[in-house]
Amino acid sequence: MIKVLFFARLREQLSTDSLQLTATENMTTAIILQQLAKTDDLWAKVLSADNLLVAVNQEITDWDHIVKTGDEVAFFPPVTGG
Amino acid sequence: MIRVQQNDFNVADEYEKLANDNQDGAVVTFVGKVRDFNEGLGVQGLSLEHYPGMTESVLNDIEKQAREHWPLNHVTIIHRVGDLTLGEQIVFIGVTSPHRKAAFAACEFLIDFLKTKAPFWKQELTTEGSKWLNAKACDDQTSQQWSNKLNIKN
């Protein structure tokens, strides 16, 4: 399984902070996002935000990063701490 | 030292811990606070969310990068999470070094990188309800300038 996390505005808009996915072969971060966007119209809209960031195993990464079983994938908006 | 916590911090205590080494000629500290305005709206407070685990690892990484570029002795980074009211302290950065220029530059680098790399998100409680903050392009530019200057790969 892959653990998927959402933070901040995304978590609030999707009313979800985490879910589990089954890994498939050559599953990239972009593919996960596309799959999740198929959930319904709301998810499609929220996940189409053009400034989304993705982290795999707590490190920022790209949309062509291949995800494996046991990985933790997080989607979130640009950070605003400090 | 990296700390992510709900509780407030005491600047005098943190200063005392930082400034205990006679090899250091310079101590520079920065405190970020909750201010009362943003984008034209009155702000009454804010709520800070973070990504536990990743936050600490990014902050450790930023500290490591600072140490690669300046001769630093002590480094303290404290960031608060949860609900904060107007005027409360949010973040503390403290660095010590034998030399003041290194201490100033490293402190500025640490807060600039923290703002664009560490997974914290602010939600403001305004007169018109709560509102997630948008990241600022100028913060990204500042961070990018450091990366270029110090030859850090993003």
User: Any idea where the domains of chain A sit in the sequence?
Assistant: 2-76
Give, as one character, the DSSP assignment of residue A23. Answer: -
Token pair listed for A49: 């935000």
CATH of the domain at B121: 3.90.1170.40
Let me know if residue B89 belongs to a domain.
yes
> Distance between CA atoms of A31 and A37, rounded to whole angstroms?
10
Give, as one character, the DSSP assignment of residue A80. Answer: -
* pTM of the predicted structure, to 2 decimals: 0.94
Nearest CA of chain A to the CA of B62: how many Å?
A: 13
b/e map B40-70, b = 16+ CB within 10 Å: eeebebbebbbbeebbbbbbeebbebbeebb
Nearest CA of chain B to the CA of A77: how many Å?
A: 8
CB contacts, 8 Å: A5 with chain B: 51
Let me know if residue B59 belongs to a domain.
yes
Burial group, residue A33, by CB count within 10 angstroms (0-12, 13-18, 19+): middle
> Distance between CA atoms of A3 and B71, rounded to whole angstroms?
40
Q: Which residues contact B144 (CB under 8 A, 6 or more apart)?
A: B154
Let me know if residue B58 belongs to a domain.
yes
Question: Do B54 and A55 count as a contact with CB atoms less than 8 A apart?
Answer: yes
Nearest CA of chain A to the CA of B24: how many Å?
A: 26
Let me know if residue B27 belongs to a domain.
yes
Domain that holds residue B76: 2-147
> Distance between CA atoms of A36 and A54, rounded to whole angstroms?
13
pLDDT of residue A33: 97
Burial group, residue A4, by CB count within 10 angstroms (0-12, 13-18, 19+): buried
Residue with tokens 């500042």: B142
Burial group, residue B118, by CB count within 10 angstroms (0-12, 13-18, 19+): buried
Superfamily of domain A2-76: Beta-grasp domain (3.10.20.30)
pLDDT of residue B38: 75
pLDDT in tens, chain A (82 residues): 999 999 999 999 999 999 999 999 999 999 999 999 999 999 999 999 989 999 999 999 999 999 999 999 999 999 999 9
ipTM field: 0.95
Let me know if residue B124 belongs to a domain.
yes
Number of domains in chain B: 1
Q: Are B62 and B147 in contact (CB under 8 A)?
A: no
Of the candidates B98, B111, B101, B100, the residue with the CA atom closest to the CA atom of residue B146: B111
pLDDT of residue B36: 83
Question: Do A8 and B121 count as a contact with CB atoms less than 8 A apart?
Answer: yes
Token pair listed for A42: 């709301």
pLDDT in tens, chain B (154 residues): 999 999 999 999 999 999 999 999 999 999 999 988 777 678 889 999 999 999 999 999 999 999 999 999 999 999 999 999 999 999 999 999 999 999 999 999 999 999 999 999 999 998 888 999 998 989 999 999 999 999 988 6
Question: Could you tell me how far CA A78 lies from the centroid of its own chain?
Answer: 13
pLDDT of residue B20: 94
Let me know if residue B154 belongs to a domain.
no
CB contacts, 8 Å: B32 with chain A: 82
> Distance between CA atoms of B96 and B73, rounded to whole angstroms?
5
